[in-house]
Amino acid sequence: MIELDNITKVYKAGRTEILALRGINCLIKKGEMVAITGPSGSGKSTLMNIIGCLDKPTSGEYRLDGIEVSTLNDNKLAEIRNKKIGFVFQSFNLLSRTTALANVEVPLIYGGSGSRRQRASQALESVGLAHRAKHRPSELAGGEQQRVAIARALVNNPSLILADEPTGNLDTQTSKEIMLLFKQLNQQGITIVLVTHEPYIAAYTQRTIKIRDGQIEALG
């Protein structure tokens, strides 16, 4: 599913070069549920962005579902993100002035077929929020907002869900519920990669990849 081959990433900050990733080799199989952990500044966010096709590696190869994506242009990457990847963020990133249902529809605007409304409703139902479809994000509790975001990630039937600190803004009880939802989705066959530094969250996954100083410390 995800094949990372000697991935490096160099940032230029003025004259100095920052080596964010120093040769990452890693394989995540289809249907796995994996946590990526590491201290801040370890490069886990950079890795996350590369896996999510939001950023390109400086060198190395990255195959997603067998497609070499490290050489694709911006438009192709946008298509890959739309079709294959669902994103879940720490701060939900919902559009505040539209309803839950309209939020879930957003990825379908940029790709996807069939009745948008219907597919969005189904996605909302699968996260147990069908009754909140007409509510705006500000009218929903944090856990509910994250569920809407998860529905949005699911709506285009992605093969991979990438979650960046998905429980970072939630209390423990709600975090547990969200993690159970992820687990349930994983059991339906979706590959899930989540970034976290909470050990108890990482405990929900099958293995934990530890990153330190831009290198993999442990593959779990």
Residues in contact with other proteins by the rule CB under 8 A = 49, 52, 54-55, 74-75, 78-79, 81-83, 87, 89, 93, 95, 97-98, 106-107, 109-111, 152, 156
| Closest CB to other proteins among residues 111, 199 | 111
| Closest CB to other proteins among residues 7, 204 | 7
Pinpoint the alpha helices (H) of 33-141.
44-51, 74-84, 100-109, 116-126
Q: How far is the CB of 154 from other proteins (least distance, A)?
A: 12
- Contact between 195 and 165 (Cβ < 8 Å): yes
| Closest CB to other proteins among residues 38, 52 | 52
| Closest CB to other proteins among residues 83, 176 | 83
* CA distances, 81 to each of 74, 148, 183 (Å): 10, 18, 22
Q: How far is the CB of 98 from other proteins (least distance, A)?
A: 7
Identity (one letter) of the amino acid at 28?
I
| Closest CB to other proteins among residues 49, 215 | 49
With residues binned 3-state (H G I as helix, E B as strand, rest as coil), the percentages for the chain, rounded to 5, are 35, 30, 35
Q: How far is the CB of 157 from other proteins (least distance, A)?
A: 13
Say how far apart CA 64 and CA 80 lie, in whole Å. 9
* CA distances, 162 to each of 50, 125, 165, 186, 196 (Å): 11, 20, 10, 12, 11
Q: How far is the CB of 87 from other proteins (least distance, A)?
A: 5
Q: How far is the CB of 166 from other proteins (least distance, A)?
A: 14
Say how far apart CA 121 and CA 155 lie, in whole Å. 9
